[in-house]
Structure 1
Amino acid sequence: MILSKLISTPLRRAAAALLLVAPLGAAADYSQHEKAAAFVDKMVEKHSFDRDWVVSLLTAAEKKQSIIDAMERPAESVMTWGRYRKIFIQDSRINQGVDFWREHADTLARAEKEFGVPAEMIVGIIGVETRYGRNKGSYRVVDALATLGFDFPRRSTFFLGQLEEYLLMVREQDFDALSFKGSYAGAMGYGQFIPSSYRAYAVDFDDDGQADIVNNPVDAIGSVANYFARHGWTMGAPVVDAAVLSEPVDETLFNAGLKPSKTLAELKLGGIASASPLDPSQKATAMKLEGAKGDEYWVGLQNFYVITRYNHSAMYALAAHQLSQLIAEQYRGAVAAK
């Protein structure tokens, strides 16, 4: 395929406008950064991009100090479970989730059937991530990835890799590289996929020829379901259960890792038992979290671990699960009352 065919029409249009978009005296001209030449060479030689287009994109990308500041001070690192839960478990977010489910009931039912992931889990994730598309992020993705790739040394390799994935993504999906906005870490759309996850898990769920999880809720629903399915979600299996303690408790078993490594039987020997009658041979992880009214104790099963593959945080997984259950209770109650 000749080069002009490899670069999509929207990309060629964007290339023509890039230098006009970049303001004079911008905070950073990333085409002049010491790491830029190697990045441009890689995109040209490995992926057959047009050199001038890549250079013009780096010229248009702007350094955002607020992004670096946010990366240096992640809010969750100093937050208790009690405070964290209050952010996501709110009546307004539950009600909005019910509305989202009603609006997209057919799509959610199809995703549940095709991927084996409950509708409420899909809704819960989208609710935690963006309030059902209401808050997808305000940073241009190219600015976020360039800022972190070129000016955040601790994670430079990772984010330059994501910038590479982003350019591949916009070419594959025929997107305008400057049009997408997302989080300060470059995550996009209803479900906040970083570019590598976008390329790996986003699906064209409405068969319009484009997997668009930024503007298309149908594709977003299918893509979240695909992500969970590909990471091993088991339909009908338990997710998390309250833990019941008995003396003596082996405190070293708590918060030992996100991946289940001890069987429930082994945890019980250490004084930690599930409140519900679960298969003692299945593996679990024990958690001790600082709640609003004191310490809370939980055991997370394999499906809980799958949620943490979406975001590597026990608090995130617990909040997403609890939100999903509250939405499901209200939605199904309303349906039954009709």
Structure 2
Amino acid sequence: MTRRPPGKRLLLTLALLAPVMASADYSGNPRAAELKRILADDYAFSGADLAAVDQALVKAERVPRLIEKEQTAKEKTLTWTGYRPIHVNDANVRRGVAFMNEYESWLERAHREYGVAPAVIAAILGVETKFGGYTGPHRVLDALTTQGFEHPTRSDFFFSELVAFFVLCHEQQRQPEDMLGSYAGAMGAAQFMPSNYRRLAVDFDGDGDTDLWSLPDAIGSIANYLIKYRPQVAWQRDQPLIAPLRPTTGFRAPADAVNTKLPSETLGQLRESGAHIDADLDDATAAGILELKLDSGQHEYWAGLNNFYAVMSYNPRVYYAMSVTQLAEALSQARSEQAAR
């Protein structure tokens, strides 16, 4: 591909970014030696391989604003009133229906092989990357070195992902400086972190390359993820994600059952606590209470079921999983209406 020289707009952008991007030469960071030791001891990196890692660390850019973006992500800071329209909107539904029509055979195959509903796979792609249209502008090398070496509270997590990133690049014969992704280092249409890319991504189209920028591979990989990432809440075929929950007089929600990462109650226990749950589901069904804060100061309540928590394993934020759930419902309804017409 022929590279064009940067135009005036790009040069201006680079100038504006200069104060928040700086060459770091992370090869001299105290944890760089630990990184290389792990790569040598656990992944059999040769001397030449480690020299290439050093070269990549020299080229890495320090981008503190990526740490700020991670700490102030919208699903952490907005109310449900503010967060929902970002993802559950008419434009996303239109794009999603078009995407599902185009990739129907791949989505149906994923449903057959993994049991995951096509609309849920599509909704995850819609929330993550606008159905593959926006996979992130940041160099993954910069994101993971900055976060892994400098994040004030989650550096260990990002450091482990930096290790996985170098292993992934080595396995796939990719240059670390060439990989682009999110501010957190997630990659491809499915936005997998490097460790999940290595463990859960699949070559769904059978072309010999496990490529999460390929939408068929992303579709299969999301289905595989929901089945295997967290066995306690592995996706259950043809089961719902949520059920309406209406608190009645005297309802007292157990504090440790609200917005948890795993279901901590049963529907029977919630009903005994004074919740009316409008669903024909057995009392033994595992569930949790979802509490969504509205701008009015009030709250909206739902019962989260196993498949909701499977989606939460993708991103452990209730607003994220509820956006996926409601976008999936909207996509299913829109496609049904389209078929009826």
Q: Quick check: TM above 0.5? A: yes
Q: Is the 8 A contact 2:75 2:317 kept in 1?
A: no
Which 10-residue stretch deviates more, 244-253 or 142-151? 244-253
Letter in 1 for 2:262: K
Counterparts of 2:58 and 2:129 in 1: how far apart (Å)? 30
* Equivalent runs, 1:236-315 vs 2, <5 Å: 236-253=238-255, 255=258, 257-291=260-294, 294-315=298-319
Counterparts of 1:295 and 1:150 in 2: how far apart (Å)? 39
Counterparts of 2:291 and 2:53 in 1: how far apart (Å)? 48
**Is 1:33 the equivalent of 2:29?**
yes
SS for the counterpart of 1:204 is coil
SS for the counterpart of 2:301 is strand
- TM-superposed deviation, 1:41: 2.8
Aligned residue for 1:171?
170
Which 10-residue stretch deviates more, 173-182 or 159-168? 173-182
Counterparts of 1:336 and 1:308 in 2: how far apart (Å)? 32
**Is 1:332 the equivalent of 2:336?**
yes
Q: Is the 8 A contact 2:119 2:332 kept in 1?
A: yes
SS for the counterpart of 1:296 is strand
Q: Cα deviation per residue 1:198-249 (whole Å; 9 max; x = unaligned)?
A: 1111000111111100x21110011001111224111111210111222111
Q: Is the 8 A contact 1:249 1:272 kept in 2?
A: yes
SS for the counterpart of 1:71 is helix
Counterparts of 1:55 and 1:143 in 2: how far apart (Å)? 14
- TM-superposed deviation, 1:279: 1.0
SS for the counterpart of 1:133 is coil
Counterparts of 1:190 and 1:118 in 2: how far apart (Å)? 18
Q: Give the one of 316, 323, 335 matched to 1:319.
A: 323
Distance 1:46 1:259, change over 3 A: closer
Gaps of 5+ in 1: 1-22
- TM-superposed deviation, 1:29: 0.5
- TM-superposed deviation, 1:296: 1.1
Give the aligned CA root-mean-square deviation in angstroms.
Answer: 1.8
Distance 1:41 1:227, change over 3 A: same
Letter in 1 for 2:216: V
Gaps of 5+ in 2: 1-17
SS for the counterpart of 1:248 is coil
SS for the counterpart of 1:244 is strand
Number of equivalences = 313
Q: Cα deviation per residue 1:150-198 (whole Å; 9 max; x = unaligned)?
A: 1224222211110110111122223232221111110111111101111
Q: Cα deviation per residue 1:62-86 (whole Å; 9 max; x = unaligned)?
A: 1101112223333322211111111
Q: Cα deviation per residue 1:21-76 (whole Å; 9 max; x = unaligned)?
A: xx9x9431111112212212322333232221110011111110111222333332
Aligned residue for 2:86?
87
Q: Is the 8 A contact 1:264 1:273 kept in 2?
A: no
Aligned residue for 2:103?
104
Q: Is the 8 A contact 2:205 2:217 kept in 1?
A: yes
* Equivalent runs, 1:224-235 vs 2, <5 Å: 224-230=222-228, 231=230, 232-235=234-237
Q: Is the 8 A contact 2:245 2:277 kept in 1?
A: yes
* Equivalent runs, 1:144-159 vs 2, <5 Å: 144-159=143-158
Q: Is the 8 A contact 2:22 2:63 kept in 1?
A: no
Letter in 2 for 1:260: P
- TM-superposed deviation, 1:256: 5.4
Give the TM-score taking structure 1 as reference length: 0.88
Letter in 2 for 1:34: P
